[in-house]
Structure formats: C-alpha cells, structure tokens
Amino acid sequence: MPYKFIFDLSRIPRFFFTEIARVGYERGMHKQMSKTAQSMIKKFKIQEATGLNVSDAVVLLEDLIDLQAKNLVEREKFVQTRKRVLLLPHCSRKYMDSRCHAVFEPKIPSYICGHCSSDCLVNRAVVLAEKKGYDVYILPGGSCVPKILKAKHYEGVVGVACGEETKLSGETLKAMKVAGQSVPLIKNGCANTIFNVETLLKIL
C-alpha cells in the first residue's frame, strides 16, 4: 500500500540520513522521540525541499526512524543467517514500460532483470546482491512476500520499499520468525522511485 503523499528526499544532504541513523539508534534504546521528528523537519527544511505538509513530513520521518531502529534491533540475528534474499520493488526500475527487458515470472511472482541499463538502480542492486550470494526478486507488490518466503525458506531478508510496504512486510517476517533488514525508498510515487545503493550495500 503506498503512502497517500508523494515525497522525494534524494536531494536532501547525506547528513540528514546520518541523523536518521543516530536518532533511530536512540529510538532503539527506548529514548523519547516525541519532538525529534519535528525538529529534524525544521533543521533540514524538509517541508521547503519536498512540499510536504508538516503532518505528512512527520509520518515520513517517524517511519524512517522506526525502520532504522528495527534494523538495529534485528541486525545481530540477521548477520547469523546464511540463506538470504533481497526483495526489490519493481517501481525502482529505470523503465516501467517495454524498454525494461525484465521478464515477468508469474509463478514466483517476480521480474527477472534483463540488465539492459547499467545505470538502472535495480540492475545495480541485483548485481551487487548476487555477487554476495543473495537470491534476488523484483516484486510487483508486497503481497508476494509471504509466498516467496514460504516456498524458499529464507533465513534472512533484505527488503527495499517505501515505509508503508516495509511495515506490512515486517509483520509478515515477524510472524514467520525471519530476520529482516530494510532499505527505505528516498523517493516514492510507485514509478521512477529511488533508493540509496550505498545504504543497500552496507546492509547486505
């Protein structure tokens, strides 16, 4: 399920995400976060940069902080896993039309990247993850996650998605006792979305 608003944080300084990581760590340590999101919105001029109203900006920031905190809590369990999978969102493909040479496998269901564009984020992620021994799926939606996990019995999952999708998949992983790590989209909108490849590489 997508957010009800569109955001693009891809031009926000890298320091913003370092701050998210720090605050996420503090959230993981059970410190009070009540005003932190609002002060970060002011500090990094998130409303001016994205056009979001304050309540949507707070939702977005709190989700980013929560995801970071959950990554930290799950990290130790995750690093002990052996059979891992990377789940990528189809919305980060460079092309969403016939210019994308990915083949869709409805039985999985997943796209299989045809590697048509070296600057496609999905292509870069597939190459990096496969080198590290991950299976990779490019999903048309979060509802595919339980089917893939049940069929393949993965121990560790890295998922790239917007915050809303990640929250839903996180519940599935928790119910199935699978260790998860997430990489948030920094630009949503269900097409031409963006995630940070360096962040993904660190998580992998």
Residues near ligand SF4 (CB under 6 A): 2, 89, 91, 93-95, 100-102, 113-117, 120, 122-123, 161-162, 165, 185, 188, 190, 193
Q: 3-state DSSP: the chain helix, strand, coil percent, rounded to 5?
A: 50, 15, 35
Two structure tokens written together for 126: 């597939």
Q: Output 71 or 188, the one with its CB closest to ligand SF4.
A: 188
Q: CA-to-CA distance for 133 and 16, rounded, in angstroms?
A: 31
Q: Output 27 or 93, the one with its CB closest to ligand SF4.
A: 93
Q: CA-to-CA distance for 171 and 182, rounded, in angstroms?
A: 13
Q: Output 158 or 185, the one with its CB closest to ligand SF4.
A: 185
What type of residue is 203? I
Burial tier of 138 (Cβ tally within 10 Å: 0-12, 13-18, 19+): buried
Q: How far is the CB of 66 from ligand SF4 (least distance, A)?
A: 16
Q: How far is the CB of 185 from ligand SF4 (least distance, A)?
A: 6
Beta-strand pair 103-105/110-112: antiparallel
Q: How far is the CB of 140 from ligand SF4 (least distance, A)?
A: 8
Q: Output 47 or 117, the one with its CB closest to ligand SF4.
A: 117
Q: How far is the CB of 65 from ligand SF4 (least distance, A)?
A: 18
